[in-house]
A and B are shown apart, each in its own frame.
Chain A
Amino acid sequence: MGLTQQSTGVAAMKDVFLVKGQGSNDCIIALAGNPNTGKSTVFNSLTGLKQHTGNWPGKTVKNAQGHYAYKDKKYILVDLPGTYSLHANSAEEEVARDFICFGKSKVIVVVVDATCLERNLNLVLQILEITKKVVVCVNLMDEAKKKKINVDLEKLSNLLGVSVIGTNARNGKGLVKLKEVISKVALKKEKDSFNKINYNDSLEKGIEIVEAAVKGRVEDRVNSRWLSLRLLEDNNKIAESFKKHLNINLKENDDLNCRINEAQKYFLENKISQNEIKDNIVTCIIKKAEKIGQEVTTFKNANYNQFDRTIDNILTSKIYGIPIMLAMLGIVFWVTIQGANYPSQLLAKGFFWIEGQLTIFFVSSGLPAWLHGILVLGMYRTVAWVISVMLPPMAIFFPLFTLLEDSGYLPRVAFNLDNYFKKACAHGKQALTMCMGFGCNAAGIISCRIIDSPRERLIAIITNNFVPCNGRFPTLIALASIFIASSMGAWQSVGATLSVLMVIVLGVGITLVVSRILSKTILKGLPSSFTLELPSYRKPQIGRVIVRSIFDRTLFVLARAISVAAPAGMIIWLIANINVGGISVLNHCAGLVDPFAQLFGMDGFILMAFILGLPANEIVIPILIMSYMSTGAMLELGSMDDLRQLFLQNGWSWLTAVCTMLFVLNHFPCATTLLTIRKETQSWKWTAISFIIPTITGIILCFIVAQSVRLLGLI
């Protein structure tokens, strides 16, 4: 069977590495690099807002693509996941390696950190083993200058044999030159020539044995020396990738198998173990990186990182580290809650004015009342509610949090807290994803991408819902103030704050316990690893942070929430307004679940409010008010006192409030979050587990509390 280029090459790749919006003349550029090198800044500066993100097909790895024009030609930039190496077979590394090997990119731009060149060269050299269509972009040149580190770019270019451009993507320095060089390299027709890293004699001998057979198999599609090395180190994943992308089954080739066996026999005879082969490969590359690094870099100031160390002495100190961290997070939350109040009211006012106008329009044009009900009182009001409660806090919280992220502080938080998470078999970075969860659980779950170990990432995703998000805070605060702290007089606000704080502490406690249980049970087999880089502190780019956090996080989450809230709003209105035997469907349902809900210290209406509040936690209380007042649409009461009276009339006690608060903390994630979990894990199974675990936790907790309070006769 003749394997044509058509069936094995480009066409076969097409569906796997789908590059959007590509015209026939467009040029694909891949962007590779270590994490923390400013790679995403380079990406953003080159593409501006012309980008979109998603996942790699079938992977939980983020895929960002964007495009820019240079001299009338369109360049599509594919941002590969940030990795230190292509060796270790994590999901990120596999995606990056496969795209470099099999993707259709004309040029690979490798972004490296000028202040930490030697370490970054490891990846550069690994990529150069695969292809020479490389442009090295030495970023953070200004920072290097500040630290009195000098990088000889010309020498580096000579040593590597490829173009090297110095940039400072933060202020756009060097990017025009970068585009120019990319276009030149893309046009070059020359064959890939190999930047040779010399391995020790026995390994070279091994390569010699297999390379000819490898070449016969893959021809010019992949560098044969590189592939020989991968086969000698017995890399199974590589064979899988070849099957997937080029439809070449390396293992089925007798000649090749024979050669590999011969090489392995040779290694055995010379007493070289498989581990030694792998060690030798890595060691040779790192030694070469070291040599090149030392040749091109000069440190004029031996204590160039003194500044970072001084700050770290304070921010990670034994005494101040954790208090400073709590204070910073406290400020972020306080600013968010306080700052969101006024814009929220303003938005609500605006939306309800529009609702009034819509109603006038519906009435005057003689449209039926039920249509007005479904569209305006149902759909419009729910969407308006969700936007006015969700948007302001997110628009404040996310930029603040992104500022902390951008400055380099967040990895220090993970460093400070890792030990506690380690005891729960989780990753220190989970502290960060939980903080993000306070803003919005969906955003918290997206942020779990920063956890590079698969098991710990899943733990963080599944347990994220145990931290109350912005949508649940107001409910907790309201219930705490009107039921728990109401008898405290002047101390009411203190009492309410303390009760909410207790709920948060409980949430964190449950997170840690559940994390540990998950790790020991259903997630037992998944791989786990821990390394945490503490990058240099950097002055955050305030303008860019605001734009990016609004686009990447706020609007993204909001759009997803609206898409769920709109249909849900119609359903809520329908079941509250369709009457069967004189009673609304909602009341029938509430009556049905009431005995069940009573077991957990709640009533049927509360449970129904939680169920109907699936699209967004913000609407749980409005739905509850709607049901108690037997009105057909969601509404809010003027004052806390009215709310208290309404709840008391409907048989609430402090126990009802406590159980409801517990259930607010521990119940199924909202629909937006569930969709996000599905997207991030690519699995309905983990989505279902993320739904079940908090719900069961809530039911058990409420049951225990309600039953023991009743047994002890406290109520």
Chain B
Amino acid sequence: MKEKFIPLHLMPIGSTGKVRNLLAKDDARRRMLDLGLISDTFVEALRKSPSGDPIAYQIRGAVIALRSEEASNIMVEMV
């Protein structure tokens, strides 16, 4: 099962994924959760910045840019 999950920053632009697992710990984890990134949340990859990082995501109605370091701790399942 686990192989189906990919880190969020590798999800292609324009596609949508469902949050499956957060690898971040402590404060960073809390911040991610507070953004609404709890299990089963849909996240759409909107666009990359001109240099490829960070990437903007649509999360619960808001557009949030995350750096690859942070997004790589969010495991998603493509839908």
The answer to whether A531 touches B33 (Cβ under 8 A) is no
Main secondary structure of the interface of B (DSSP, over half): mixed
Partner of A415, one of B25, B34, B62, B65: B65
The B4-54 residues at the A interface (CB cut-off 8 A) are: 25, 27-31, 33-36, 38-39, 46-54
Chain B interface: which of A70-78, A312-320, A680-688? A312-320
A527 and B30 contact, CB distance less than 8 A: no
A282 to B53, CA, bound (A): 28
Known: A286-B33, A415-B54. 4 other contacts (CB 8 A): A84-B35, A122-B36, A415-B65, A531-B65
Please tell me the size bucket of the interface on B: 20 to 34
Say yes or no: B70 contacts A531, CB within 8 Å. Answer: yes
Interface residues of A in 310-331 (CB under 8 A from B): 312-313, 316-318, 321-322
A115 and B49 form a contact (CB under 8 A): no
Q: Which residue of A lies closest to B63 (CB)?
A: A534
Give residues 461-501 of A contacting B (CB, 8 Å): none
**What 1/0 mask marks residues of chain B from 63 to 79 whose CB sits below 8 Å from any chain A CB?**
11111001000000000
Inter-subunit contact B38/A534 (CB<8 Å): no
Which B residues have a C-beta under 8 Å from some C-beta of A? 25, 27-31, 33-36, 38-39, 46-54, 56, 59-67, 70
**Contact between A279 and B33 (Cβ–Cβ < 8 Å)?**
yes
- Answer whether A119 and B47 are a contact pair too, CB < 8 Å, given A84-B35, A88-B30, A418-B65: no
State whether the Cβ of A89 lies closer than 8 Å to any Cβ in chain B.
yes
Measured CA separation A428–B34 after assembly (Å):
21
Given known pairs A275-B29, A419-B52, the reply for A530 and B67 (CB within 8 Å) is yes
A283 interfacial by beta-carbon distance below 8 Å: yes
Q: How far is the CA of A282 from the CA of B41 in the complex (A)?
A: 13
Complex formed: what's the CA distance from A312 to B56 in Å? 10
The 4 closest A-B pairs by CB, nearest first: A85-B34, A419-B51, A282-B33, A532-B65
| Chain A residues, CB < 8 A from B31 | 88, 529, 531
- By beta carbon, the residue of chain A nearest B33 is A282
Q: Which residues of A lie under 8 Å from residue B62 when comparing CB positions? A: 116, 119, 533
A-B contact count (CB 8 A): 111
Measured between beta carbons, the chain A residues less than 8 angstroms from B28 are 529
Task: Give the chain A neighbours of B70 by CB distance below 8 A.
Answer: 530-531
Contacts of A287 in B (CB 8 A): 38
Complex contacts, B49 vs chain A, CB 8 Å: 316, 321, 415-416, 418-419
Q: Which residue of A lies closest to B34 (CB)?
A: A85
Query: Is B56 in contact with A119, judged by CB distance below 8 angstroms?
Result: no
Chain A's nearest CB lies how many Å from the CB of B52? 7
**How many Å from the CB of B43 to the closest CB on chain A?**
13
Write the chain B residue with the least CB distance to A116: B61
**Would you give the shortest CB distance from B15 to chain A, in whole angstroms?**
15
A217 at the interface (CB under 8 A from B): no
- Inside 8 A of A534's CB, which chain B residues have their CB? 56, 63-65
- How far does the Cβ of A192 sit from chain B's closest Cβ, in whole Å? 24
Closest residue on chain B to residue A282 by CB atoms: B33
Residues of B within 8 Å of A322, CB to CB, are: 50
Encoded as 1 (CB less than 8 Å from any B CB) or 0, chain A from 526 to 570 comes to 010111111100000000000000000000000000000000000
Query: Taking the complex as formed, is A87 at the interface, i.e. its CB lies under 8 A from any CB of chain B?
Result: yes
Q: Given known contacts A416-B50, A418-B53, A419-B52, is B36 in contact with A119 (CB within 8 Å)?
A: yes
Which residues of chain A have C-beta atoms less than 8 A from B30's C-beta?
87-89, 278, 282
**Are the CB atoms of A418 and B54 closer together than 8 Å?**
yes
> Is the Cβ of B61 less than 8 Å from the Cβ of A419?
no
